[in-house]
Amino acid sequence: MPAPAAAELKELALRRARLMEAIGRDGVAIIPAAREVVRNRDVHYKFRQDSDFWYLTGFNEPEAMAVLAPGRAEGAFLLFVRERNKEREIWDGRRAGPEGAVADYGADQAFVVGDLANMLPGLLAGRGKVYYTLGEHPEWDVRITACVREIREVSRRGPAAPTEFVSLDTSLHELRLVKTEAELALLRHACGVSARAHVRAMRSTTPGRWEWQVAAEIHNEFENHQMEPGYGSIVGGGHNSCILHYKENEAQLRDGDLLLIDAGGEYHGYTADITRSFPVNGRFSGAQKAVYEVVLAAQLAAIAELRPGNSSGRPHEVATRVLTEGMVALGLLKGDPDELIKTEQHRRFYMHGTGHWLGLDVHDVGRYKLDGQPRPFVPGMVMTVEPGLYIAPDSEGVDPRFLGIGIRIEDDVLITERGPEVLTGGVPKRVADIEALMAS
């Protein structure tokens, strides 16, 4: 990943400034980079930067740490990074080093990461609050808490030790929850390419193909746009569509079955999250269509609720109601929908939530509740809307025509002053549109 361009550097500086404004001069923020993770023996998984660190630095190397110390005389933004190493760079790739961290990433000061232990007491002393999320990076937890203890031991003679560790949930994650225009441009791109990947998957699906072949169509589309899956792709045909986190993608697709695909590509860290469910042979059966229309109606009704000022709990309430009424109409459940919802009987076929925040993480950060209540939507939030119905093949007391049908429809929606903006509208979801696409 190349160093950020001038406009990106400006955006990154703005994010840091906002965070520093939120934490104030009494605070200091410590944000570690992600570590490399061993896949097997001496092979690593592809490196993926920590989303918080990426959001604030645009720096894509492991073994690094960002420190934000508002008001610090020598500069508030410090980066601790790997040192340059000719030998290692020949084997493993380029490193920015402290010079590059300053010149190309806008750090006020940068040091090799080995200097952090020595410098940390000076950076923390005299600050009341350390904004650092304990429990996420155990190796850093030990060093940082040891540093606070060290300051405490000498604090009778010098500056006071911090008294509080504060997680980044209420500061940084609140910023990440409301996307900037620059973030939305990246997310729109990720959503656009991902929608095209789903279209390609629909077009390439026929009886006899394998789930992994359809996954390959999607992943090829991502890679052709310098993207990769933002999470493990789910490509589940037939009964596999009823397994919510099916990830084997190993079965052959059969005539008459549905295929559920949940896949989204990640671009510059921002991921789409799209699900479509469609017939392997291009034509919905009567039973498939009946269930599908219920899920689609629930999804459209839920999307309409993504408006500024509305409670973020509304989409789930509305989707649950439409689904439950539909389940009663289809004979899957019996009774009064209100009562069925109150007693959670709808969970037999709809057992997950209707959406989540989306951004740098597929299940993105940001609190869902404020003061115990679902928070209101504001423009710039992005949420998925993904109702579904899953009628497991061994469900008892169900019309056999419905057994083994799993349907989810998922789009990514931006909340705007003008109303909900569906970012993933490029892939059809109406029955007639899907059938027309698959016939073309």
Contact set with Mn ion (CB under 5 A): 262, 273, 384, 410
Looking at residues 197 to 226 of the shown chain, list those that interact with ligand GLY (rule: CB under 6 A).
Answer: none
Q: Any catalytic annotation for residue 189?
A: no
Q: Any catalytic annotation for residue 245?
A: yes
Beta strands across the sheet bearing 234-237: 234-237, 258-263, 274-279
Phi, psi torsion values for 5, nearest 5 degrees: -75, 175
State the nearest-atom distance from the C-beta of 414 to Mn ion, in Å: 15
State the nearest-atom distance from the C-beta of 362 to Mn ion, in Å: 6
The residue with tokens 């083994």 is 404
Nearer Cβ to ligand GLY (125/261)? 261
Q: Any catalytic annotation for residue 45?
A: no
Q: Cα(388)–Cα(174) distance, rounded to whole angstroms?
A: 29
The residue with tokens 């190493």 is 85
Looking at residues 230 to 269 of the shown chain, list those that interact with ligand GLY (rule: CB under 6 A).
Answer: 231, 262
Q: Cα(421)–Cα(303) distance, rounded to whole angstroms?
A: 9
- Contact between 193 and ligand GLY (CB under 6 A)? no
- Contact between 361 and ligand GLY (CB under 6 A)? no
Active-site residue (options: 44, 143, 347, 363): 363
- Contact between 273 and ligand GLY (CB under 6 A)? yes
Helix, strand, coil shares of the chain, percent, nearest 5, are 40, 20, 40
**231 is in the binding site of which of ligand GLY, Mn ion, none (Cβ under 5 to 8 A by kind)?**
ligand GLY
Q: Cα(79)–Cα(64) distance, rounded to whole angstroms?
A: 7
Q: Cα(37)–Cα(43) distance, rounded to whole angstroms?
A: 9
State the nearest-atom distance from the C-beta of 300 to Mn ion, in Å: 17
Q: Any catalytic annotation for residue 63?
A: no
Nearer Cβ to ligand GLY (314/408)? 408
Within 7-154, strands assigned E span 27-32, 38-40, 43-44, 65-68, 77-81, 109-112, 129-131
Q: Any catalytic annotation for residue 262?
A: yes
Nearer Cβ to ligand GLY (212/231)? 231
The residue with tokens 């209540």 is 373
Nearer Cβ to ligand GLY (19/197)? 197
- Contact between 50 and ligand GLY (CB under 6 A)? no
Nearer Cβ to Mn ion (30/413)? 413
Q: What tokens appear for 427 in the block?
A: 């892939």
Q: Count the site residues for ligand GLY by CB under 6 A.
A: 7
Among 362, 383, 405, 407, contact with ligand GLY (rule: CB under 6 A):
362
Residues 6 or more apart in contact with residue 396 via CB below 8 angstroms: none
Angle at 387 between CA 256 and CA 436, to 5 degrees: 45
Nearer Cβ to Mn ion (234/253)? 234
State the nearest-atom distance from the C-beta of 273 to Mn ion, in Å: 4
Q: Cα(402)–Cα(290) distance, rounded to whole angstroms?
A: 9
Q: What tokens appear for 302 in the block?
A: 């839920």
State the nearest-atom distance from the C-beta of 266 to ligand GLY, in Å: 12
- Contact between 386 and ligand GLY (CB under 6 A)? yes
Q: Any catalytic annotation for residue 42?
A: yes
State the nearest-atom distance from the C-beta of 411 to ligand GLY, in Å: 11
Active-site residue (options: 273, 364, 411, 412): 273
Nearer Cβ to ligand GLY (110/409)? 409
Q: Any catalytic annotation for residue 273?
A: yes
Active-site residue (options: 211, 410, 411, 412): 410
Q: Any catalytic annotation for residue 225?
A: no
Q: Any catalytic annotation for residue 408?
A: yes
* Kind and range of the H or E run holding 432: helix 431-439
Write out the catalytic residue numbers.
42, 245, 262, 273, 352, 356, 363, 386, 390, 408, 410
Q: Which residues bind ligand GLY (CB under 6 A)?
A: 231, 262, 273, 356, 362, 386, 410
